Amino acid sequence: MRGLNLDQLITFATVVEHGGFTEAAGRLGLTQPAVSMQIRNLEERFGVRLVERVGKRALPTAAGRDLLPFIRRLREEVEAAAVAMGRHRAGQVGRVRIGTGATACIYRLPPILTALRSARPGLEIIVVTGNTPDILDAVEGGSLDLALVTLPAGRPGLSIEPVCAEELVCVGPRDGPGDGARSPASAVAPAALADQTLILYERGGTMRAVIDGWFMAGGIQPRPAMELGNVEAIKNLVAAGLGRSILPSVTVGSPQDCDRFAVQPLTPPLIRKLGLVLRRDKVLDAGVRAMVKAITDMR
């Protein structure tokens, strides 16, 4: 109802509850004239008398008595709204939508999400995976709150802050062709992979662009036999002896991976950086702030 003032309704109910304007003024921290003005404005709004004086007491009219149950329900809803907003303010509830690449989703986010869910069980966390350009579009458009993406990346309206760096390594099958020809610690240059069967990330993503740049800096144009978007699929094909790949070292660091893969450093070294992405004008609620802190703590 346009123009209906909640404060006036509460003032009216307080006058009735305490039987007078002066008593209500003391309860509400107002002057007696201010209380009288609010009641008069409310009566003008409804076009009916709401309060009548009987002796020294202020009592509700028939219209006023009918209005009181509505005010009681409004008070309950306002109190419930305050409690709900308090939960949001404390970060106990809410929703965070984060975008990232498949590799970061598998190897970086799980401990972050586990800790957040433990600390804030009412917080809904939605994870979307994709290539960096698509994720940046979603953050820019507001369908994602933040993102963790491979750098370099840049958009005028986005704040992009590096949070961690990962070494990329050459990964081959433990018993694959040529595995015994070099020490596991020996570094691999682009030229050494020129004639190898390569299984690389699919085109279109920043990770693939970083890898292609490393090859081209060494005078090699990579021609992979297979291109996939899923790091676990790449690992399974490499483990089966179908080729070699270049992957972040974090993806092949488990004890099981040590038994499956021969891992060698690259020369020159190749590092990929992950960055935290937010819209510059983004209003950060408590849930988003908690996610931002957890990601920046990766440093």
pLDDT tens per residue across span 161-218: 999 999 999 999 987 444 444 445 589 999 999 999 999 999 988 899 999 999 999 9
Q: Which helix (H) or strand (E) holds 277?
A: strand 261-279
pLDDT at residue 246 above 90?
yes
The four Cα atoms 102, 105, 108, 113 give a dihedral, to 10 degrees, of: 180
Choice among 67-81, 178-192, 275-289 with the minimum mean pLDDT: 178-192
Helices (H), 142-197: none
pLDDT at residue number 180: 41
Is the C-alpha dihedral spanning 148, 150, 156, 160 positive or negative?
positive
Mean pLDDT of 3-16: 91
Confidence of residue 2 (pLDDT cuts 50, 70, 90): low
pLDDT at residue number 183: 46
Nearest to 154 by CA among 272, 277, 270: 277
Residue 97: C-alpha distances to residues 49, 94, 255 (Å) = 52, 10, 32
Mean pLDDT of 105-129: 92
What residues does 33 pair with on adjacent strands?
Answer: none
Distance of alpha carbon 184 from alpha carbon 196, whole angstroms: 17
Token pair belonging to 146: 């933040």
Q: What are phi and psi of 41, to 5 degrees?
A: -65, -40
What is the per-residue pLDDT across 21-48, written as a single tens digit (0 to 9) for each? 999 999 999 999 999 999 999 999 999 9
pLDDT at residue number 222: 92
Nearest to 277 by CA among 162, 182, 189, 194: 162
Helix axes 109-119, 286-296, angle to 10 degrees: 140
Q: Residue 198 corresponds to which amino acid? A: L
What is the per-residue pLDDT across 79-111, written as a single tens digit (0 to 9) for each? 999 888 887 877 777 899 999 998 999 999 999
Confidence of residue 4 (pLDDT cuts 50, 70, 90): confident
Q: Residue 13 corresponds to which amino acid? A: A
pLDDT at residue number 185: 56
Tokens 């909640």 — which residue?
6
Whether 193 contacts 220, CB under 8 Å: yes
Confidence of residue 232 (pLDDT cuts 50, 70, 90): very high
Token pair belonging to 183: 């020490």
Overall pTM > 0.75: no
How far is CA 284 from its chain centroid? 10
pLDDT at residue 62 above 90?
yes
Nearest to 241 by CA among 220, 258, 266, 262: 262
Mean pLDDT of all residues belonging to the chain: 90
